[in-house]
Every structure is written in C-alpha cells, then in structure tokens.
Structure 1
Amino acid sequence: MSAKIPREDSVSTAHSRDLLRQARQRFTQQQIAAHVGKDVKTVRRWEKGETPCPAMLDATLRELLSGSERAVGTPARFRFVDLFAGIGGIRLGFEAHGGECVFTSEWNPFSNKTYLENHGDRHAITGDITVVPAADIPDHDVLLAGFPCQPFSIAGVSKKNALGRPHGFECTTQGTLFFDVARIIAEKRPAAFLLENVKNLLSHDRGRTFDVILQVLRDELGYDVHYRVIDGRHFTPQHRERIIIAGFREPAAFTWDALALPDEGPRLASILHRTDGTEPLLPADGDRFFDHRARRVQPKYT
C-alpha cells in the first residue's frame, strides 16, 4: 500500500493551525480577531477545526508573533539593544517574547535598508558603533550582539592568511569590535546579554581568542556566562553552526541542556514560492515577487 502524500493546501492549513495555537498562548481570541480583521466566532471555528484556516492566516499570525506585544496594547516586558544587527534576525525572537528594541547599530547600508523594511523602526539606526559613547546608548535590560565573525571564521581566517593580513583580535577593523560590546556592557550593566558568532571562534588561535572573551565577560565584567554551539538546521533548511553566548548579571539557574531543539527543521521546498497555483495572493505584495497569472517567481529573483 502506497503512502498518501498530503496535499500542499492541507499542509499550509496545518501550519496555520500550529501558529494559531502558538498565538493563543499569548493572546486572547479577541486580540487575534482584531489583528487578522475577523470576528471572534471565526477565530473560534479555526481553533476548533470547524473551519479550515485561510491561506492569508499564516503570514498574518507570523507578523503577530514576531511583533511586540505592544501592538495589542500590552506594555513591553523588557527593553533591549540590537548591535551588529544585520537585518534583524536575532531581534525577532526577543520581540516575540514582549521585548522592545530601543537602539539599533548596523553599518552596512543594504542591511539597514532591509532592517527598516522588516521592522519599521521609530528610532534611527546608528552606523559605526566604535564612535558612539557607551553612556549615550539608552538603558536596557538585554544586550544582543552578533559581532562580526569574519576574523574568526574558517573562510575568513584562510582568506586573511592568504592575503597576509591579521585575523582575530589582531584584525583592527572587525576583530576588536568585541571590545566595543564589552565597554557597553561595562557602562550600562544590562541584566543579560546574548552574543552570537561562528563555531570557529571556539578554536581560533588554539582557543586563546575565546579564552580572552570569557576572561573579559566573566572575570572583568563579572557575568555568569554560558555558551553552546547550535546548528541552524533545526530552524532553517541549512547546515549552519553558530556559538551562542548567554550572560547574566546575577547568577542564574540557566543551562543550555534545557533547550529542546526540533529533530527536523523545515525543508527548502517549504519556504519557496509554490508554482502549482496555490501560492497565496498577499495584498501587500501583489505581483511584486510572484507572477500569479504565469505561476512563476518574477524573473529578476532567483
């Protein structure tokens, strides 16, 4: 007997129902109804499975879950800063738990453009963090920093060796940016921080680079520090190992062992535009990315 392959629209509905269950852990049916523009009875029927979740619900619920709780009238639970922010990926997780971003630093103009499209910040994005006095940064509870990884990555070290250039902390343009993170932590003393870098940071310069980082965070700044290498394959269709460093101003009952990771992350097909006619038409996008008549991604995109 051959296995029955689920229809793609059924899979989409299942995803939406799962997102709805996540949303109901934080929001009431009334709040969800107001966000998606439906009445409470409709949300109740979706939740009970009496009515299939529409295609539009997936994106709308993701927006609700990734946004601050302030969007539905709940005050922010904590304030955080987003350093070396890229396009704002780390920020999403902290906003999903009720945090408010009060300061952003990223010097790449293309990343800034995408960041603003993603988050629509009320505050301006600060460029070069090295020229910003730590005292000028708003007070915050959590500091986030994906400080530049090129000086420590395998590819980055190989390239710099080939060019005869310094790497690690000897790389004055990027490697020393960790110390800008440290000076801000020293000045503002946030309750916690989360730092992210490549796995090779652990072994760079035979482990001496990471020893210096731990010495600064633990001995000089006095934080309770925990770290773990996590593979992005649990969350994205890509093998991408990163070291995550969590620090707490006061000793914390924290252990990375308590982190439950999904066994299987999403497949690449699950995030690509569908070409079988089931691609949802989002009013905000129209045919910008996908030609719904020709059922194909617009030619200028891969």
Structure 2
Amino acid sequence: MNAYELIDLSLQRFSPKEVAQALGVDPKTVRRWQLRETEPKPYIADAIRQRLLPFGEPPSGEGQFRFIDLFAGIGGIRTAFEKQGGRCVFTSEWDPYAVKTYKANFHDGPDHVFASDITKVQENDVPDHDVLLAGFPCQPFSIAGVSKKNSLGRPHGFSDKTQGTLFFDVARIIDAKRPRAFLLENVKNLMSHDKGRTFSTIMDVLKN
C-alpha cells in the first residue's frame, strides 16, 4: 500500500484527530492528504504502519486460503494467519471491549461476517473456509478457573453451561463446514481435567 492508501485505511479506523496525534501533524494536514491536495512525506507510510496499523495491513484480494476466527479476543491468532497469506471471512467474539479493540485493529469489508454470540450462529450461515481457528474459553478447564469455581460451589468443565459447553459449538461448525484444517487453543490443564475424561470427550467428538 502507498501512503495515500494507508492514510485512507487509518481514517477508516481512527478519527482525523487521532491520526494527526499519532503522526505528530495537524488534523488539517491529514485532511489535505485525504483530499490528495498535498503529498505525504516519505516517512509517513512507515509511521502509519508502526503507530496506527500495529497488526499489519489487511491482505489484498482473495488470499491464499480462507479462515474463520472464533472466540477471537483482539485478533492475535488472526494476525499470524494473515501473515501467512490467509483471509479472514468470519469472526466471533462476545466481549464488548475485545470487540472494540478487534474492530480498531482490523478493517473488514462487507463480505466479512462478525458475530457476537456463537451459540446463536447457525453453522450453515458460517462462510465456507479452509481453516478454523478457535481459542474457546479456558476458565472452566484451567487450574485457577477450576479452583475458583470449586471454592464458589460452581460447576466447571462441561458442566459449566455458560462457558464449558462452547467447545461443542466449535465442533458443530467443523462438522457442518468440514475445513481442511483447524486449530483449537486452550490451557495445559485441559488434558488432565476430570482425570482426562474431558480431553477424551473432545478427541472423540473431533474424530467423529
């Protein structure tokens, strides 16, 4: 992307005042760049990449492969896969603060679908994709999370109906869309939780 294109992209994510502050210029200067009335100095493009687009520029075109980003957080896993040539076509994240940051980090076109509550998404409404990424909630399985829930007398693992069963929403999407590959991220204790029965259930579901 050239400097003008980077400026346009920045203005889709930030206000002219925010862009100006990040680049150390007057907002009127940003406005003149936007209108193509003046040409940005050579260093501006690098400054935009470093200060306004820390997660990188969006991949152009169709990308080498299509992927979806479930339980996306602020988009850390997405960033890595975009750098490998992938194009994100679907995102799911429910936390409002994470969503705000995610949308500031990535500017997606009209063909990209963003959903908040994955439990309300019909699997057939998810776009076709090559790779599924999911960092499903770790609290019901982590050592700290289980300890806290036990101290409060609350269920954990799959018995936690709010977070513990979200893995099965990932599984139903995999079953319906059959991506070529998937990456599921959680915590170390997942393998030993409930004496290994939790991980055994996950493997059985994925294999079937």
Q: Tell me the TM-score normalised to structure 1 length.
A: 0.51
Partner of 1:196: 185
1:126 equivalent to 2:107? Answer: no
Correspondent of 2:59 among 69, 84, 89 = 69
Displacement of 1:35 in angstroms is 7.9
1:176 equivalent to 2:169? Answer: no
Displacement of 1:217 in angstroms is 1.2
**Cα-to-partner distance string for 1:247-287 (whole Å, 9 max, x where unaligned):** xxxxxxxxxxxxxxxxxxxxxxxxxxxxxxxxxxxxxxxxx
Displacement of 1:156 in angstroms is 0.7
Instruction: Compute the RMSD of aligned alpha carbons.
Output: 2.6
Taking the aligned partners of 2:137 and 2:55, their CA distance within structure 1 comes to 28
Taking the aligned partners of 1:134 and 1:182, their CA distance within structure 2 comes to 10
Taking the aligned partners of 1:56 and 1:121, their CA distance within structure 2 comes to 20
Correspondent of 1:107 among 94, 97, 101 = 94
Correspondent of 2:68 among 81, 89, 101 = 81
Matched AA of 1:67: E
**Cα-to-partner distance string for 1:136-180 (whole Å, 9 max, x where unaligned):** 111111100000100001111011101111100111111110000
Partner of 1:151: 140
Taking the aligned partners of 2:101 and 2:195, their CA distance within structure 1 comes to 36
Displacement of 1:58 in angstroms is 7.8
Displacement of 1:202 in angstroms is 1.2
Matched AA of 1:197: N
In the TM superposition, what are the counterparts of 1:266-285 in structure 2 within 5 Å?
A: none
Unmatched 5+ stretches in structure 1: 1-30, 38-53, 221-302
Q: Higher relative contact order at CA 8 Å, sep ≥6: structure 1 or structure 2?
A: 2
Q: Is the 8 A contact 1:68 1:76 kept in 2?
A: no
**Cα-to-partner distance string for 1:43-68 (whole Å, 9 max, x where unaligned):** xxxxxxxxxxx798487379598334
Unmatched 5+ stretches in structure 2: 8-42
Matched AA of 1:167: H
Q: Is the 8 A contact 1:66 1:93 kept in 2?
A: no
Q: Is the 8 A contact 2:89 2:113 kept in 1?
A: no
Of all paired residues, the percent bearing the same amino acid is 62
Matched AA of 2:189: N
Correspondent of 2:200 among 211, 234, 248 = 211
Displacement of 1:34 in angstroms is 9.2
Give the number of aligned pairs.
170
In the TM superposition, what are the counterparts of 1:1-302 in structure 2 within 5 Å?
A: 57=46, 60=49, 63=53, 66-70=56-60, 75-122=62-109, 123-218=112-207, 220=208
Q: Is the 8 A contact 2:58 2:106 kept in 1?
A: no
Q: Structure 1's 125 and 75: CA in aligned 2 closer, same or farther, altered over 3 A?
A: closer
Q: Choose 1 or 2 for highest CA Rg.
A: 1
Matched AA of 2:49: T
Taking the aligned partners of 1:134 and 1:161, their CA distance within structure 2 comes to 33
Q: Tell me the TM-score normalised to structure 2 length.
A: 0.73
